[in-house]
Amino acid sequence: MVTEDISCTLIPYFKIQEGKIDTFKQMCVEFVKATNTEPKCLFYGFSFDGDIACCLEGYVGAEGVLAHVDNVGALFQEALKISEIMRLEVHGPEQELAKLREPLADLNPQFFSVEYGFRR
């Protein structure tokens, strides 16, 4: 591995139920507010393409990811009542991904091991 960067990126894609986009977007405000308190969060935001929402999230290591999952767990469960996870990508160095494989297994993520790159 060329990089010493331990940051991890989560990218969940949500398929929102018909007629529930406004409700989902209101929940996004709550997700952002809750996540903004997390010291190990590097970036966090939602983007939309019709009834598909994507949340681009970055954290300092697996520890930051797990703190986030714990912090927004109840809100995430509420969001799943009006949407479903179409895909979940987790990107990071393998030593950090190894710490996430078991805790995130129920979400059936696809793990991508970062092997080359840099962060400024």
Write the CATH number for 26. Answer: 3.30.70.100
Whether 2 is covered by a domain: the verdict is no
Whether 41 is covered by a domain: the verdict is yes
SS3 9: strand
The H or E element that residue 92 is part of is strand 83-92
Whether 85 is covered by a domain: the verdict is yes
- Residue range 35-67, pLDDT digits in tens: 999 999 999 999 999 999 999 999 999 999 999
Q: How many domains does the chain have?
A: 1
- The DSSP call for residue 78 is H
SS3 119: coil
Whether 54 is covered by a domain: the verdict is yes
SS3 95: helix
Q: What torsion do the CA atoms of 101, 90, 20, 75 make, to the nearest 10 degrees?
A: 50
Whether 20 is covered by a domain: the verdict is yes
Q: Cα(87)–Cα(71) distance, rounded to whole angstroms?
A: 21
Domain that holds residue 102: 8-113
- Tell me which residue has tokens 């986030």: 68
- Residue range 98-116, pLDDT digits in tens: 999 999 999 999 999 999 8
pTM (global) more than 0.95 = no
Whether 119 is covered by a domain: the verdict is no
Whether 118 is covered by a domain: the verdict is no
Parallel/antiparallel/unpaired status of strands 110-113 and 83-92 = parallel
Whether 14 is covered by a domain: the verdict is yes
